């Protein structure tokens, strides 16, 4: 008789559960901001690289261009991001945070840091560093492969 698959200890299942926990912590901590993890990732990336184009941004935050475009539209509606055509190539859209978007992103960064700390709370410092290092290695290893 074949042994049953140990789903509870499958890496894919554990990564999915960890993602669910991370999102739940994020949504709880930032409930008053009415922002999603994807929206924050985009705002943070735009803050780090003002004038970035939408395609480069999508690659930087690991989202497809269509998804990031609709998220950017919602952020634009909130008054947090402004989108302007590139003067050289009018098809390219360049992005900047508005003053309100910059202020909001700076305020959210502290809350997001608390989320990261809370996510790793069950681990000691060495374990937390090891987990982050292994996750980074896992992601980098798969990003270099064609999917």
User: What fold is seen in the domain 21-116?
Assistant: Arc Repressor Mutant, subunit A (1.10.10)
Enter the pTM of the model: 0.86
Domain ranges of the chain: 21-116
Task: Calculate mean pLDDT across residues 117-134.
Answer: 97
Q: How confident is the model at residue 129 (pLDDT cuts 50, 70, 90)?
A: very high
Q: Note the helical H segments in the chain.
A: 11-29, 37-48, 54-60, 65-77, 99-120, 125-143
For position 3, what pLDDT does the model report? Answer: 79
- pLDDT over 60 (residue 147): no
Residue that has been written with the tokens 């499958």 in this structure:
10
User: Please, how many CA atoms are within 13 Å of residue 106, restricted to the half-sphere of its CB?
Assistant: 7
Q: Cα–Cα distance between 139 and 118 in angstroms, integer?
A: 22
For position 88, what pLDDT does the model report? Answer: 87
Q: How confident is the model at residue 89 (pLDDT cuts 50, 70, 90)?
A: confident
Angle between helices 99-120 and 125-143 (to 10 degrees): 120
- pLDDT over 90 (residue 23): yes
- pLDDT over 60 (residue 146): no
| Residue pair 26/37 in contact by the 8 Å Cβ criterion | yes
């Amino acid at each position: 008789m074949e042994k049953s698959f140990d789903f509870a200890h499958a890496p894919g299942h554990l990564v999915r559960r960890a993602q669910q926990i991370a999102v739940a912590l994020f949504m709880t901590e930032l409930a008053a901001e009415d922002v999603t993890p994807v929206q924050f990732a985009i705002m943070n990336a735009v803050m780090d690289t003002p004038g970035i184009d939408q395609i480069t941004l999508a690659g930087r935050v690991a989202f497809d261009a269509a998804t990031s475009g609709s998220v950017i539209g919602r952020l634009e509606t909130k008054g947090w991001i402004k989108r302007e055509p590139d003067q050289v190539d009018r098809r390219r859209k360049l992005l900047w945070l508005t003053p309100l978007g910059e202020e909001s992103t700076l305020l959210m960064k502290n809350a997001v840091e608390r989320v990261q700390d809370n996510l790793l709370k069950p681990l000691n410092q060495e374990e937390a560093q090891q987990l982050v290092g292994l996750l980074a290695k896992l992601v980098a290893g798969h990003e270099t492969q064609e999917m």
